[in-house]
Structure 1
């Protein structure tokens, strides 16, 4: 896994180039645009590594990329290699991933 190609690294680079000034609402809008732009580069079937602070990194496959009924914005669903995770690909009875 090449960390220099991570979404987090990419977002930091863009924010450094364009600044991170303004009110909270403007910052939220800019962050939302960056997230949407990053999500366009992530494809269902891509291999990935997920790192959550305080947890061991986990690898898996992107199984969903898009909007949901349960919350605004673009969501990325991951099917982990190991049998871990919060759900089975569905939320509130709506299936998003297999």
Structure 2
């Protein structure tokens, strides 16, 4: 699975994608929470190394197969008359009048009212409960982790990986809220060397021996010794 942030003019979210997701399926899922129609959608992939490139259906029918190291998907609405752009323009115009929070909340044509009517974002009760539960579980797991200890990483869709827990904290280049664990893997099963967009958070370690994962995927303990590879025998040294 590939985990990315998805950012548009009105919202941002963190999503997981199967590597076999087609361009069409990607656009359909993005439309479901951004409101941008696929035919007017411009996708820009931002990679772990800071590089950016536009993703097109003609050249990237299965984009995550080509770019599994994407960290952020920037979504632009090319339809100037779309509801999304009208809401964005409305939001920009409202800010020019310097309305107070109380005055803004009373307006019936605002982005806030649109979100409330459509149960969007923080106004979606089920979504908010799930997010709060997820954040609570993350914090509980963080309390059980110890930097500098051996660890096991079990992410959805990937085999177990082991190494050392080297970092716990936010990555401001991504956002200032989400907590990440920096792992120095025993083998070259990571995506970086302990750095993200030019900022080093641990190490640096050997190329592809570093990675940042969610706390829920990590457990620490002395029992997580290096794994024996399939082509190695316990009877040989």
TM-score normalised by the chain length of structure 1: 0.68
Is the aligned partner of 1:38 residue 2:141? Answer: yes
Aligned twin of 1:7: none
Structure 2 distance, partners of 1:53, 1:40, is 22
Aligned twin of 2:195: 90
Structure 2 distance, partners of 1:74, 1:25, is 18
SS in 2 for 1:41: coil
Which segments of 5 or more consecutive residues in structure 2 lack a partner in the other structure? 1-124, 204-237
TM-score normalised by the chain length of structure 2: 0.30
Q: Which has the larger radius of gyration?
A: 2
Q: What is the number of equivalent residue pairs in this alignment?
A: 77
Aligned twin of 1:48: 151
Query: CA distance change for structure 1 residues 53 and 29 in 2, over 3 Å: closer, same or farther?
Result: closer
Which of 74, 77, 80 is residue 185 of structure 2 equivalent to?
Answer: 80
Moved segments of 4+, more than 6 Å: none
- Give the number of the structure with larger relative contact order, counting CA–CA contacts within 8 Å between residues 6 or more apart: 1
